[in-house]
């Protein structure tokens, strides 16, 4: 039968072409597809020729053509998948990615030493139940001086080297103005606040900058004593400078505390034996402190018979110098990147 011979011959050619294509890693695959499976391809050609067969032979022949078409489709699809995979492998083997080469490092930013000290102190006092308080950097004379028992003409004003904005307005010379604001703005009751911030004084040398940061602490309640002050400061100093750090509390004078004291911390660089940082004294002054003077409670309308309290104000810059062994306070605000990178 002619048609059956055609079918056999076609099958032989198809298989040979498929094998050749496979051997050539799928080259000519598209042509092969068109040649056998296309609308004008050979398999459809056979189907079209089926009309010439006697009717009783058509079903058998048709089934045989279908088997051949399925075979062609299956093998071509497999070849196609193989070719796609081969293309990916080739691309991969051609690329020159070397995972062992060092990458480009992203520049990491970090916090300024003053911010580190400030945040650390805030964390520490928050942990003891203190609340953060704020007051203005440009403030009325009343809060910076008057309410803190420093009337006009008081000699203590000389210590402060004040920047005056006008007769009654100053750049605050200390964070103690936060004490005055807080007490004026709240009803009498227990107080536990911490107030970090910038302060300003007409001053500029290796250990004094015209702008620097302080952290103020104020505690008020019934029966607060100097012992509470000492214990609080010692806990803080050990937290910042490590266990074994000692405090030296020297009698001093501030109009808003009575008794008043200046606070030194044992030098963290030499441990107290004397070095360049502590100018051979073994101690570094960090600020002032004392029990709240009853005159302050009177000024702000709190009952000095009922309430007592303590306050301290430390220089954050001083603490940073001490903690990191920095010899000059100006380095903290010069924004010299080679210096700042070290923290």
- Residue with the shortest CB distance to ligand PHE: 313
Give the separation between CA 58 and CA 227, rounded to whole angstroms: 114
With a CB cutoff of 8 Å and minimum separation 6, the contacts of 185 are none
Structure tokens, 201 = 């004084």
**Closest CB to ligand PHE among residues 197, 288:** 288
* CA distances (Å), origin 148, targets 145, 212, 234, 258, 340: 5, 21, 25, 12, 37
Provide the mask over 303-332, with x wherever binding to ligand PHE is found by CB under 6 A and - wherever it is not: --------xxx-------------------
Which is closer to ligand PHE, CB of 21 or CB of 237?
237
Question: Which residue, 66 or 225, is less far from ligand PHE as judged by CB?
Answer: 225
What are the angstrom distances between the C-alpha of 74 and each of 20, 70, 79, 215? 16, 6, 9, 81
Q: Is 255 an interacting residue with respect to ligand PHE (CB under 6 A)?
A: no
Q: Considering only 55-63, 90-98, 126-134, 282-290, which stretch makes contact with ligand PHE by CB under 6 A?
A: 282-290
Min. distance of Cβ 174 from ligand PHE in angstroms?
A: 3
Return the number of other C-beta atoms located less than 10 Å from residue 340's C-beta: 16
The CA-based diameter of the chain, rounded to the nearest angstrom, is: 131
Alpha-carbon distance of 193 to 154, in angstroms, equals: 27
Cα 276 to Cα 55, 91, 225, 244, distances in angstroms = 116, 65, 36, 21
Answer yes or no: are the C-beta atoms of 216 and 232 closer than 8 Å.
no
Return the residue matching tokens 């799928």. 26
- The answer to whether 229 touches 312, Cβ cutoff 8 Å, is yes
Q: How far is the CB of 125 from ligand PHE (least distance, A)?
A: 15
Looking at residues 75 to 114 of the shown chain, list those that interact with ligand PHE (rule: CB under 6 A).
Answer: none
Nearer to ligand PHE, 196 or 290 (CB): 290
Q: Give the nearer residue to ligand PHE in terms of CB position, either 214 or 268.
A: 214
From candidates 33, 287, 316, 326, binder to ligand PHE by CB under 6 A: 287
Sole window of 82-90, 162-170, 185-193, 285-293 interacting with ligand PHE (rule: CB under 6 A): 285-293
Q: Which residues, 163 to 202, sit near ligand PHE by CB under 6 A?
A: 174, 176
Q: Which residues bind ligand PHE (CB under 6 A)?
A: 174, 176, 254, 257, 287-290, 311-313
């Amino acid at each position: 039968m002619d048609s059956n011979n055609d079918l056999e011959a076609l099958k032989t050619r198809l298989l040979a072409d498929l094998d050749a294509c496979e051997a050539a890693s799928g080259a000519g695959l598209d042509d092969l597809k068109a040649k056998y499976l296309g609308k004008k391809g050979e398999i459809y050609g056979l189907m079209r020729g089926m009309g010439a067969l006697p009717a009783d032979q058509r079903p058998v022949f048709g089934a045989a053509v279908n088997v051949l078409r399925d075979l062609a489709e299956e093998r071509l699809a497999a070849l196609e998948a193989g070719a796609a995979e081969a293309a990916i492998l080739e691309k991969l083997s051609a690329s020159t990615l070397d995972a062992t080469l060092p990458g480009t490092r992203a520049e990491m930013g970090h916090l300024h030493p003053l911010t580190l000290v400030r945040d650390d102190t805030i964390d520490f006092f928050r942990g003891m139940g203190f609340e953060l308080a704020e007051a203005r950097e440009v403030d009325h004379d009343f809060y910076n001086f008057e309410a803190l028992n420093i009337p006009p003409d008081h000699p203590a004003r000389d210590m402060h080297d004040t920047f005056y904005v006008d007769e009654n307005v100053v750049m605050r010379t200390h964070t103690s103005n936060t004490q005055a604001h807080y007490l004026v703005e709240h009803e009498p009751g227990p107080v536990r606040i911490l107030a970090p911030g910038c302060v300003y004084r007409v001053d500029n040398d290796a250990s004094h900058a015209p702008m620097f940061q302080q952290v103020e602490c104020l505690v008020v309640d019934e029966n607060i004593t100097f012992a509470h002050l000492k214990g609080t400061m010692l806990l803080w100093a050990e937290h910042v400078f490590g266990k074994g750090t000692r405090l030296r509390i020297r009698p001093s004078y501030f109009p808003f505390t009575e008794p008043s004291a200046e606070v030194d911390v044992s030098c963290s660089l030499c441990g107290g034996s004397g070095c360049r940082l502590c100018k051979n004294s073994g101690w570094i002054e960090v600020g002032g402190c004392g029990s709240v003077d009853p005159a302050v409670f009177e000024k702000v309308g709190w009952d000095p018979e009922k309430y007592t309290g303590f306050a301290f104000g430390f220089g954050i810059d001083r603490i940073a110098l001490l903690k990191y062994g920095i010899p000059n306070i100006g380095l903290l605000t010069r924004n010299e990147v080679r210096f700042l990178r070290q923290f």
